[in-house]
């Protein structure tokens, strides 16, 4: 199977986000102006900035499809992780801006009451963005794409921002403008938390971090392979949406080179069965010394 096929599928999700943001931002800005809702207009401008994050994800997915070259012998898969990292920065900026705007509104006079219809517009857009989130999350899990999952979390955050805008507009109808502030701060904190999670995961992967439990599962599977007498060392790292495995196994010193090679082949085959996204398995054989 073409190892780049999953990445090309991920591009569909990035394009879905970009088109959704373009349509929803235009709709929100128009309705915000029509119904005199600054909250809805701010939400529309927020969606425009989110297009940048989706474009960054799309570019990362495109670059990660480039074949290996003299400078990148393992390929360019990590461009996808870098794209997720960039998306986390953009999300953090949006989250901080939402919180800053909410705090600033505490010291500003209310400039009239927006049309209640703008709240329904915000809720409709929230539902639409929730649908985009579910689509991208499902696709990201299917193809094991960190960049697309970051885009999905950005979609989720934007759905929450729209809900927050609707809460503020409805609160203004009942003389409760503080609802807008509370909702905005809560949404801003959640966006920043999501951005931090993406940032933390991306930096962990870029620094060759690997889940200890998953590594323990790999060790247990290798130890059960016929012919493997012991495991001296096992290392694994994530390369974009792919996994690289390095293992040093011990075998009976009386085995021939061909027999030892066959054991190595079994280890490689087993790793690829356990980890469907394994890009490379390097097996080094050492004699078992009593």
- Its domain, for residue 196, covers 5-206
Q: Of 183, 206, 229, which residue sits at a domain end?
A: 206
Both 96 and 56 in a single domain?
A: yes
Q: Of 184, 206, 228, which residue sits at a domain end?
A: 206
pLDDT over 60 at 111, yes or no: no
Show the tokens assigned to 112.
């009239």
Both 148 and 266 in a single domain?
A: no
Both 49 and 177 in a single domain?
A: yes
Both 29 and 103 in a single domain?
A: yes
Tell me what pLDDT residue 203 has.
93
Q: How confident is the model at residue 47 (pLDDT cuts 50, 70, 90)?
A: confident
pLDDT digits (tens, 9 = 90+) for 113-129: 677 888 899 999 999 99
Mean pLDDT in the chain? 86
User: How far is the C-alpha of 141 from the C-alpha of 136, rounded, in Å?
Assistant: 9
pLDDT digits (tens, 9 = 90+) for 207-242: 988 888 888 988 999 999 999 999 999 999 988 878
Distances in Å between the alpha carbon of 24 and those of 28, 97, 147, 190? 6, 20, 22, 21
Both 9 and 135 in a single domain?
A: yes
Q: Which position has the token pair 């971090």?
A: 209
Show the tokens assigned to 195.
């951005």
Question: How many CB atoms are closer than 10 A to CB 54?
Answer: 27
Tell me what pLDDT residue 112 has.
58
Both 221 and 170 in a single domain?
A: no
| 245 phi and psi angles, rounded to 5 deg | -120, 135
Give me the CATH number covering residue 252.
Answer: 3.30.70.1350
Instruction: Kindly give, in sequence order, each residue whose CB lies less than 8 Å from that of residue 133, ignoring residues fewer than 6 positions away.
Output: 152, 153, 155, 156, 159
pLDDT over 60 at 177, yes or no: yes
Tell me what pLDDT residue 1 has.
47
Task: Find the mean pLDDT for residues 162-182.
Answer: 80
- When divided into structural domains, the chain yields a total of 2
Both 96 and 31 in a single domain?
A: yes
Give me the CATH number covering residue 96.
Answer: 1.20.1510.10
Instruction: State the Rg of the chain over Cα.
Output: 25
Higher pLDDT, 251 or 279: 251
Both 126 and 219 in a single domain?
A: no
Q: Of 146, 173, 206, which residue sits at a domain end?
A: 206
Both 53 and 134 in a single domain?
A: yes
pLDDT over 90 at 41, yes or no: no
Q: Could you tell me what percent of the chain has a pLDDT over 90? A: 35
Show the tokens assigned to 255.
């085995």
Q: How confident is the model at residue 37 (pLDDT cuts 50, 70, 90)?
A: confident
pLDDT over 90 at 46, yes or no: no
User: How far is the C-alpha of 78 from the C-alpha of 7, rounded, in Å?
Assistant: 12
Q: How confident is the model at residue 110 (pLDDT cuts 50, 70, 90)?
A: low
pLDDT over 60 at 9, yes or no: yes
Does the pTM surpass 0.85? The reply is no
Q: Which position has the token pair 């990445």?
A: 7
């Amino acid at each position: 199977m073409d190892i780049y096929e999953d990445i090309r599928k991920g591009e569909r999700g990035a394009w879905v986000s970009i088109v959704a943001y373009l349509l929803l931002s235009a709709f929100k800005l128009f309705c915000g102006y029509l119904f005199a809702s600054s909250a809805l207009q701010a939400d529309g401008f927020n969606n425009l900035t989110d297009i940048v994050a989706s474009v960054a994800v799309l570019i990362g997915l495109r670059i990660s499809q480039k074949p290996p070259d003299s400078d990148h012998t393992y390929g360019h898969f990590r461009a996808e992780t870098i794209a997720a990292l960039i998306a986390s920065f953009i999300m953090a900026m949006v989250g901080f801006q939402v919180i800053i705007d909410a705090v600033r509104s505490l010291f500003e006079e209310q400039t009239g009451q927006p049309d209640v219809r703008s709240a329904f517009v915000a809720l409709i857009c929230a539902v639409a963005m929730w649908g985009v989130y579910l689509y991208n999350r499902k696709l990201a899990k299917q193809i094991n794409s960190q960049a697309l999952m970051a885009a999905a979390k950005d979609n989720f955050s934007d759905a929450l921002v729209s809900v927050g805008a609707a809460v503020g507009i409805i609160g203004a109808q009942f003389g409760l403008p503080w609802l807008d502030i509370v909702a905005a701060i809560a949404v801003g904190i959640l966006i920043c938390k999501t951005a931090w999670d993406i940032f933390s995961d991306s930096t962990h992967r870029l620094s060759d971090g690997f889940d200890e439990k998953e590594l323990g599962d790999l060790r247990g599977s290798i130890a059960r392979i016929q012919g493997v007498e012991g495991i001296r060392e096992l290392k694994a790292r994530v390369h974009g949406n792919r996994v690289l495995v390095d293992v040093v196994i011990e075998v009976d010193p009386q085995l021939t080179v061909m027999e030892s090679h066959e054991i190595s082949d079994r280890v490689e085959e087993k790793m690829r069965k356990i980890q469907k996204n394994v890009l490379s398995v390097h097996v080094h054989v050492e004699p078992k010394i009593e």
